[in-house]
Structure 1
Amino acid sequence: MARTACIGTGNVGRAWAVVFARAGHEVVLYDQDPAQVAAALPLIKVTLQQLHSEGLLEDGVDEILSRIRGCVTLAEAVGDAHHIQESVREDVEIKRAVASAIADLAPADAVIASSTSALPGSTFLTHIAQPERALVAHPVNPPSLIPLVELCTTGITSAEVMARTKAFMESLAMKPVVLNKEIDGFLLNRLQYTLVAEALHLVGEGYCSAADIDRVMTEGLALRWLSIGPFATAHLNATQGFAGFVAQLGPMMRKMGASAKTDYDWPQSLADEIHAEMAESFPVKDIAAWQAWRDKRILAARKAQAEGKSEQPK
């Protein structure tokens, strides 16, 4: 089993530790603040207990937890690691410094992956020793519950490292997608932010409420997108498949695309109004409890997905 290192023990770093350890790997945690490492272990146990209660762990909670330990130096964390997952603060200068330190201390063949959600890897991973072994591995928070991970080259990442990391992620039961070149926001955030921008436009111009937008998603689009994506949805919505969908609805798609306001100049007052509307249903003081509720729904959705795949036509 590979020795893995999680650098940074916030929400994402802790979740990565769960992903590695439940797959049988040894995990070493490091954070520049030792108190964060100490705080991470009981929180990781809570996540493991949640997964265990849902029947999603092959091994016992204590057995998995025994594979995870903290350390006090970066050298100890990465010294003999095969895979290093960096999840420090989203600041390019901090990430550049951390990446350099990791590369100087880690084995020459260790993969160095960053969990960055927005920064192009070329801005902080290409100056290090053996930069061809570094790439972005952007998860969806929390990766302990959501399997998607976006693997993106820095422009000089070797093909061998891309393939090796993809295979490693698949061995962890993650679901990797590969970006062949850099683009801001990678794939998920570009799609997510584009949809949210148009949603702000619709609410801001008085077409509907924020709650109605959410209902359109949860009671409409999400019920199809839970099992199949937008291309497959379009393909199955037409008797002649995607070609028939485009032939019939292509002109409407182009018209709506031209009128959509993905660059809508929303004011702060609109953000404040939407916050107030959301806070009525999800009070800020109760966000932790609502996050736990959300996580249970994510796990339920994954079960539904698995059941749906087993029932697919042969």
Structure 2
Amino acid sequence: MEALQLARHASALFLFVCFLVKRGSSNPNHCTPSLLDRSFGSTSNLFFLNSICGVIGRNWSMLFTAAGFSVSLQDSNPEQLTHALSSIRLQMLELEERGELLGKRPALEQLNLIKAEQDLSVAVNGAVYIQECIPEDLEMKRGLFSTLDHMLPPTSIIGSSSSCLLPSTLFADLKCCSRCLVCHPVNPPYLIRLVELVPHPKTEAWVTLQIEDLMRQLGRMPITLRVELPGFALNRLQYALLTEAWRLVESGALTPDEVDLVITEGLGPRYAFSGPLETMHLNGAGIRNYCQLYGESICSVSNTFGPTPKFSGVVMDSVHKAMCDTVGDSTRDLEKRQCWRDRCLAALSKLKRTINVQDKEGKTTEKEQTGKFT
């Protein structure tokens, strides 16, 4: 009963504080009540971000500042921190110039909400929520979480950006495991709204609910897995696609470029608006009818897929050569193509935020698409 009361209290406080952050003073030094502060009397920065300052950490920080949160970036390498802040500044100003910056504050005001710290204990001092973004290395992550376990107050929540590591393994033996969960974004997080939440078996319900709400405050679309699965949801679907793409090249049926074309000019455009199950429903005059018409064929074709490929050897060399011919293989070539991809994603994101999307009853639901702070 006590836990339930805490959950309700924390959720209500969270919504109220977020409202104050977004509607309150534009002064970047303005302080707000702590997220879980029952008295509303003390003040502290609302949000801190712990991160090795790579692409994911930088994107997370931009999302939080867009929503009006104060952010602390942490990295033990001062050069990484300097590069991160410079990169964030450049990206925000470019997004603002193109009319694609999220949030209601101008870029420079958002930038003022970010501070950099080398010392982990300083970065997380007073932290309400920590988003870990270090490399996908189990022992490295467990080492960090073990350190944080002895640093954080009993109300702080830890979210991991891990894309595959299971919470039961990541957070094993931590005293704070009831306040830990995976919070996995899709790269690049600033431009793709989905976030996968995977609680630890002992994660308290109020923690998951609060982080779901936090993601919505950032304009994200959270989904919460009810059971632990290797690869979660997005990578399970992605890996199923990648394994068959590899087989098509391996069999000589298609070239690597032709496989990519099947997605970019075939499945991709419609999946940007209707997922695979809704597509079944639309294309078959209902799921039942679709299954009756095509269910046997799906099973028959699926039985021919064959074993999981090794992603090495001759096929890997063939795919690598094709991608280098198309995109290039230098760092500059890759960065140029990534920038082009990100501009396309930004344009698609903007379209999805502004288009008059019709709900099931034919009513405009544009507000739902735009998020809460865009």
TM-score (norm 2): 0.81
- Equivalents in 2 of 1:18, 1:95: separation in Å? 23
- Give the C-alpha shift of residue 9 in structure 1: 1.0
Return the match for 1:283 from 328, 344, 348.
328
For residue 62 of structure 2, what is the aligned residue in structure 1?
18
- Give the C-alpha shift of residue 307 in structure 1: 3.9
Aligned-partner SS, 1:212: helix
TM-score (norm 1): 0.96
Q: Label 1:102 to 1:265 Cα distance change in 2 as closer, same or farther (>3 A).
A: closer
- Unmatched 5+ residue regions in structure 1? none
Higher Rg? 2
Percent identity, please.
34
Contact kept? 1:79, 1:106, Cα under 8 Å = yes
- Give the C-alpha shift of residue 143 in structure 1: 0.9
- Equivalents in 1 of 2:188, 2:282: separation in Å? 31
For residue 162 of structure 1, what is the aligned residue in structure 2?
208
For residue 231 of structure 1, what is the aligned residue in structure 2?
277
Contact kept? 1:121, 1:153, Cα under 8 Å = yes
For residue 176 of structure 1, what is the aligned residue in structure 2?
222
- Equivalents in 2 of 1:151, 1:266: separation in Å? 28
CA displacement, residues 81-110 of structure 1 (integer Å, 9 cap, x when unaligned): 111000112111111110111222122111
Return the match for 2:298 from 249, 253, 268.
253
Q: Label 1:305 to 1:198 Cα distance change in 2 as closer, same or farther (>3 A).
A: same
- Unmatched 5+ residue regions in structure 2? 1-20, 22-45, 364-374
CA displacement, residues 261-292 of structure 1 (integer Å, 9 cap, x when unaligned): 36134541111111101111100221001000
For residue 79 of structure 2, what is the aligned residue in structure 1?
35
For residue 3 of structure 1, what is the aligned residue in structure 2?
47
- Give the C-alpha shift of residue 50 in structure 1: 3.2
- Give the C-alpha shift of residue 47 in structure 1: 2.2
Contact kept? 2:101, 2:107, Cα under 8 Å = no
Contact kept? 2:164, 2:231, Cα under 8 Å = yes
For residue 101 of structure 1, what is the aligned residue in structure 2?
147
The reply on whether 1:214 has 2:260 as its aligned counterpart is yes
CA displacement, residues 160-184 of structure 1 (integer Å, 9 cap, x when unaligned): 1111110111111011110112111
Contact kept? 2:71, 2:114, Cα under 8 Å = yes
Contact kept? 1:226, 1:305, Cα under 8 Å = no
Look up the equivalent residue of 2:219 and give its one-letter code. A
For residue 100 of structure 2, what is the aligned residue in structure 1?
55
Between stretches 47-56 and 185-194, larger displacement belongs to: 47-56
For residue 81 of structure 1, what is the aligned residue in structure 2?
127
Contact kept? 1:203, 1:209, Cα under 8 Å = yes
Look up the equivalent residue of 2:191 and give its one-letter code. L
1:135-214 equivalent positions in 2, closer than 5 A: 135-214=181-260
Q: Label 1:243 to 1:60 Cα distance change in 2 as closer, same or farther (>3 A).
A: same
- Give the C-alpha shift of residue 72 in structure 1: 2.3
CA displacement, residues 114-148 of structure 1 (integer Å, 9 cap, x when unaligned): 00111112212132222100000011112111111
Contact kept? 2:157, 2:207, Cα under 8 Å = yes
The reply on whether 1:269 has 2:269 as its aligned counterpart is no
Return the match for 2:353 from 283, 302, 306.
306
- Equivalents in 2 of 1:55, 1:223: separation in Å? 21
- Give the C-alpha shift of residue 310 in structure 1: 3.3
- Give the C-alpha shift of residue 257 in structure 1: 1.5
- Equivalents in 1 of 2:95, 2:213: separation in Å? 23
The reply on whether 1:116 has 2:162 as its aligned counterpart is yes
- Equivalents in 1 of 2:354, 2:51: separation in Å? 35
